[in-house]
């Protein structure tokens, strides 16, 4: 039957990490996520610069630039194609930027959760230590009162023997 018990989870249970190990692992993970945040912020700035670079071109064809010299010719077609490509590149950069911002928001949420868990473990560890200290203090007080009681009984016994004339 013990074989079946182990098969269904009644066997040896693995011990989880100590609070100190868990705190250390959470701190390491927090460092990794902070690095990821910095990387994502840098990439967002790069995509924003790319969008600005490609988005400031003249895409309207309002008589400025190459269309004025060669309207309807090969130069105009190339200019139009470049404008479409530049607009497309700006939109793609903005889409990438938006996706990176979503990843950054998700990373921020995960980091907040990890910080909350780490603080909860630290608080629990502190509370456990305080309780152990209070228990030790309670045992010390109990011992002090027991010693007082024993001393009090002994002193009372000596007094009564002196009164009755049994003592020296």
Average pLDDT, the chain: 78
Residue-level pLDDT at 37: 97
Q: Please check the confidence at residue 89 and state whether its pLDDT lies above 90.
A: no
Give the separation between CA 1 and CA 112, rounded to whole angstroms: 46
Q: Which residues contact 125 (CB under 8 A, 6 or more apart)?
A: 19, 20, 23
With respect to residue 4, please indicate whether it lies within any of the assigned structural domains: no
With respect to residue 10, please indicate whether it lies within any of the assigned structural domains: no
Considering only CA atoms, give the Rg of the chain: 39
Give tens-digit pLDDT for 73-86.
556 656 655 566 66
With respect to residue 1, please indicate whether it lies within any of the assigned structural domains: no
Q: Please check the confidence at residue 65 and state whether its pLDDT lies above 50.
A: no
With respect to residue 3, please indicate whether it lies within any of the assigned structural domains: no
Which of 88, 89, 103, 109 minimizes the C-alpha distance to 44? 103
Please give the tally of structural domains in the chain.
Answer: 1
With respect to residue 149, please indicate whether it lies within any of the assigned structural domains: yes
With respect to residue 8, please indicate whether it lies within any of the assigned structural domains: no
Give tens-digit pLDDT for 5-32.
666 666 566 788 899 999 999 999 999 9
Which of 99, 108, 7, 5 minimizes the C-alpha distance to 44? 99
With respect to residue 117, please indicate whether it lies within any of the assigned structural domains: yes
Residue-level pLDDT at 147: 74
Report if pTM > 0.75: no
What CATH number corresponds to the domain at position 79?
1.10.287.1060
Domain that residue 32 falls in: 18-163
With respect to residue 11, please indicate whether it lies within any of the assigned structural domains: no
Give tens-digit pLDDT for 97-129.
999 999 999 999 999 999 999 999 999 999 999
Give the separation between CA 129 and CA 140, rounded to whole angstroms: 17
């Amino acid at each position: 039957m013990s074989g079946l018990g182990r098969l269904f989870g009644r066997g040896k249970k693995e011990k989880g990490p100590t609070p100190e190990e868990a705190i250390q692992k959470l701190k390491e993970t927090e460092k990794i996520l902070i690095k990821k945040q910095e990387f994502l912020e840098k990439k967002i700035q790069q995509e924003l610069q790319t969008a600005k670079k490609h988005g400031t071109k003249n895409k309207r064809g309002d008589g400025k630039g190459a269309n004025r010299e060669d309207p309807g010719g090969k130069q105009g077609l190339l200019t139009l194609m470049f404008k479409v490509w530049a607009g497309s590149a700006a939109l793609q950069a903005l889409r990438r930027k938006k996706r990176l911002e979503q990843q950054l928001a998700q990373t921020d949420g995960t980091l907040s959760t990890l910080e909350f868990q780490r603080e909860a473990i630290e608080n629990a560890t502190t509370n456990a230590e305080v309780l152990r200290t209070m228990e030790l203090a309670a045992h010390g007080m109990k011992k002090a009162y027991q010693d007082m009681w024993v001393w009090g009984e002994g002193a009372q016994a000596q007094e009564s023997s002196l009164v009755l004339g049994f003592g020296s």
